[in-house]
Amino acid sequence: MSALFDQFVVEARELLEAAGASLLRLERNPSDMGAVNDLFRAMHTLKGATALFDMAPFTLLVHAGEDALMAVREGRSAITADLADRLLQLLDLGAVWVDRLEAEQVLPDGAEAMAREHQALLRAALGGAGDGDAGDLGASFSWVEDLTEAERRETGGRALTAVAYDPHADCFFSGDDPLALCRRIPDLLLLRIEPVGPWPALAEMDPYHCALRFRALSAAPKEDVARLFRSVPDQVRIATVTPRKAEAKAPASASAASVPATAGDDLAEAILREQAHILGLGGSAAEVAARQAAVLRAVRNVLTALGRVEDVAALERVADTPEALARFIGDLTGGGNRTETPSPTSIPALTPVPIPAVAAPLGRRALRVDAERMDRLMALVGELVVAKSRLPYIAREAQAGQSPDALAQSIKDAHGQIDAIVGELQDAVLRLRVLPLSRVFEPLPRLVRDTARRLGKSVELTLSGEETEADKDILDVLGEPLLHLVRNSLDHGVEPPDLRRAAGKPETAAIRVQAFQDRDGVVVEVSDDGAGIDAGAVRRKAVERGQIAADQAAALTDAEALRLVFLPGLSTAEDVTDLSGRGVGMDAVRNAVEQAGGRVEIASTRGAGTSIRLVLPATMMITRVMMVETAGALYGLPVTLVTGMQRVARDAIRRVKHAESVVLHDAVLPLLRLRRLLGLPEDDRPATHEAVLVVDLGGHRVGLVVDAFRERADVVLKPMAGVLARLRGYAGTAVLGDGRLLLVLNLRELL
């Protein structure tokens, strides 16, 4: 779309994030007026931005938030945890909408209903009169049924758009002129101007205090009318209605007692039909679920308003799936001869309708680049252009019969020059992609707040080192595991307040997340002062699950036993809780980190807490590999996995059947041979020693027998593509300086 729209998407995201951060700040310290003001400003700016485009529901949504904040700012309401929850949900919905807008330029269907829903919830949280959606709608439009006969003739019984416009009392001060607005209603069929209350004596009247309300009917489609009122979404209600013709009598139905009641039913039916329509809309699973909840509430309100108690009960029975709900609504609205109380059997058997499970698209963020870094890149490209122009000159020299020695020298000079520039260029490009870790830290305060609140724990989160920088790809890898670790700490690490009190600890637990740059790359450490992990219990579990032999388990040091939590089997939820340890998805964390060429370390003290370290390379583009030779070919292993190299005498290797092991540094290491793993012929060369590479595979260490050690190298790792992608034993390929291809192994898959 337009540049303006792109700008809006970027800005809206930033504003939503800023609002979220301010909100958390405010909740921690409700008297922080600075936070209220920041939050209010963010909302207000966002509202202004949405009003630039045709997205009334978004404006309405943000406006609802702004209203609530206004109440807080003016001291009419306190910022309660409930209110904060609602506001956070509102911001979440806003974020979802921005993503959607970016992808499809339009808001999801049913956005307006969602916005109203949030508005009502916010009002409820503020303690105001937050009537149900449908109830309000019914009250607002009951006047349509009270039209005079002349007015009815005017409208001719067509489907019309009804407008109930109740301007704010102080609307003149915001420059509104409601009457002028009504003048612009397209295809206006009817306009009623009514005083809100009895008129005061003229002397006591404040002319600047709007005391009128407007009721209008238009033949224009609802959207057209809604567009007109988009600057005052909170003061207007717009609906499609069909006023009954004067002579039309209500059809004789069992429930129809009087004309007005039937007329009300008609509106109810229109609302119900709309709900069925909303249910039928596609979208992500989350959207569908959100809509289902909204629809359920609306239908319940309608039925309650109509006094159909039995139907409400029936509704609760079908509330679980959107299909059943849709069918139920269909039964309610289907034809004029509906039964008063549909028995459960009248609801057809459920046939599972697949809900399109669209993965929520990840919000693409604009990469903000320092102007300086951009300039440096530009300068380097300039140098490259100059250096390039030397080559034709050398070609001419060659044609002119220049001596080979002189030519070689010229080429070497040119190469040296270009090489230096390319090196710098590569560095400059990498720097473009380098971002501060604050980006992955951002969701943590919210996560801790929400989870702690849910679990009834009191937790103080400390973040440090947000300014540490890492490659964008690394940040992407880091995000998910980090959330996992913090969630684990909250769930299993940190004890409930009473236990903490009993253990003589402060009730408020501390979770620290710190990042720093290390020789190996970026280190992110998540530590808590919780219960810690019982290494003995981990050992027992691992043995029970058959992942490790009992004697092996006994031989492990506590530190080594802790690493067992990274084994896949130990990560199901129930073990975790009775281990009072962690482990939910710990293998997933380890996998993600190792796939990025990093590693995970764990340390824990019973009763004092746990700390888990993620060590990641600073950039994923350059991987440092250890090269080994086997069967005449070169293979690479990520250096981060290698913990040692050793030449081991052949007679020191113990053999039990086919399983080999060796004792290194007082620990028994299972020994594996790379030739066997790769299905290559056995090494039949006579030798007294074997080259053994000690690799740490997260849960356990193994010795890998190779033919020979070679040097380390920094390579640009390219993942396997196409058919080769199915060869899971390889992490990728890299071209070495001499043009040879290096296969980099994915040991975990190989073993």
The answer to whether the CB of 19 falls within 8 A of the CB of 62 is no
Q: What mask, x for binding another protein by CB under 8 A, covers residues 173 to 202?
A: ---xxxxx-xx----x--xxxxx---xx-x
Give the footprint of another protein on residues 469-528 (CB under 8 A).
none
**Nearer to another protein among residue 179 and residue 358 (C-beta):** 179
DSSP for 441-501 reads HTHHHHHHHHHHHHHT--EEEEEE-TT-EEEHHHHHHHHHHHHHHHHHIIIIISPPHHHHH
3-state secondary structure of 623: strand
* Least CB distance to another protein at residue 121 (A): 31
Give the footprint of another protein on residues 586-615 (CB under 8 A).
none
- Short-list 18, 59, 64, 57, CA closest to 41: 18
**Nearer to another protein among residue 198 and residue 392 (C-beta):** 198
When asked if residue 169 is in the footprint of another protein (CB under 8 A), the reply is no
Task: Report the C-alpha gap between 162 and 222 in whole angstroms.
Answer: 8
**Nearer to another protein among residue 183 and residue 317 (C-beta):** 183
* Least CB distance to another protein at residue 431 (A): 57
The span of 31-39, 171-179, 423-431, 519-527 binding another protein (CB under 8 A) equals 171-179
Rounded to 5 degrees, what angle do the CA atoms 229, 235, 238 make? 60
Q: Per DSSP, what are the bridge partners of residue 738?
A: none
Q: What mask, x for binding another protein by CB under 8 A, covers residues 209 to 238?
A: -xxx--------------------------
**Nearer to another protein among residue 211 and residue 411 (C-beta):** 211
Among 65, 108, 167, 481, binds another protein (CB under 8 A): 167
DSSP for 306-340 reads TT-HHHHHHHHHTTTSHHHHHHHHHHHHSSS---S
* Least CB distance to another protein at residue 51 (A): 21
When asked if residue 143 is in the footprint of another protein (CB under 8 A), the reply is no
Task: Report the C-alpha gap between 630 and 636 in whole angstroms.
Answer: 11
* Least CB distance to another protein at residue 224 (A): 18
**Nearer to another protein among residue 182 and residue 625 (C-beta):** 182
Among 11, 41, 54, 172, binds another protein (CB under 8 A): 172
- Tell me the number of residues near another protein by CB under 8 A: 25
The answer to whether the CB of 104 falls within 8 A of the CB of 111 is no
* Least CB distance to another protein at residue 66 (A): 23
Q: Per DSSP, what are the bridge partners of residue 518?
A: 521
Q: For 439, left (φ over 0), alpha (ψ -120 to 50), or beta? A: alpha
* Least CB distance to another protein at residue 223 (A): 23
- Short-list 712, 708, 720, 576, CA closest to 647: 708
Name, in order, each residue with C-beta under 8 angstroms of 144's C-beta and a sequence gap of 6 or more: 162, 217, 241, 243, 267
* Least CB distance to another protein at residue 212 (A): 5
When asked if residue 205 is in the footprint of another protein (CB under 8 A), the reply is yes
Residue 349 class from Cβ within 10 Å (0-12 exposed, 13-18 middle, 19+ buried)? exposed
When asked if residue 290 is in the footprint of another protein (CB under 8 A), the reply is no
The span of 43-51, 172-180, 344-352, 674-682 binding another protein (CB under 8 A) equals 172-180
**Nearer to another protein among residue 210 and residue 306 (C-beta):** 210
When asked if residue 744 is in the footprint of another protein (CB under 8 A), the reply is no
* Least CB distance to another protein at residue 133 (A): 28
**Nearer to another protein among residue 212 and residue 406 (C-beta):** 212
**Nearer to another protein among residue 196 and residue 716 (C-beta):** 196
* Least CB distance to another protein at residue 167 (A): 7
The span of 103-111, 206-214, 367-375, 423-431 binding another protein (CB under 8 A) equals 206-214
**Nearer to another protein among residue 78 and residue 179 (C-beta):** 179
Name, in order, each residue with C-beta under 8 angstroms of 721's C-beta and a sequence gap of 6 or more: none
* Least CB distance to another protein at residue 164 (A): 16
When asked if residue 150 is in the footprint of another protein (CB under 8 A), the reply is no
**What residue has token string 């679980």?**
320
**Nearer to another protein among residue 182 and residue 531 (C-beta):** 182
**Nearer to another protein among residue 184 and residue 249 (C-beta):** 184
Name, in order, each residue with C-beta under 8 angstroms of 252's C-beta and a sequence gap of 6 or more: none
Reported as type and span, the H/E element at residue 573 is helix 573-578
**Nearer to another protein among residue 168 and residue 446 (C-beta):** 168
* Least CB distance to another protein at residue 219 (A): 15
Tokens representing 622 are 């350059």
What Cα–Cα distance (Å) separates residue 497 from each residue in 29, 373, 488, 508, 731?
Answer: 21, 49, 17, 7, 45
Looking only at the bridges linking them, the beta strands covering 633-638 and 741-745 are: parallel
The answer to whether the CB of 38 falls within 8 A of the CB of 26 is no
* Least CB distance to another protein at residue 135 (A): 28
What Cα–Cα distance (Å) separates residue 581 from each residue in 307, 569, 615?
Answer: 52, 14, 21
Q: Which residues bind another protein (CB under 8 A)?
A: 167, 172, 176-180, 182-183, 188, 191-195, 199-200, 202-203, 205, 207-208, 210-212
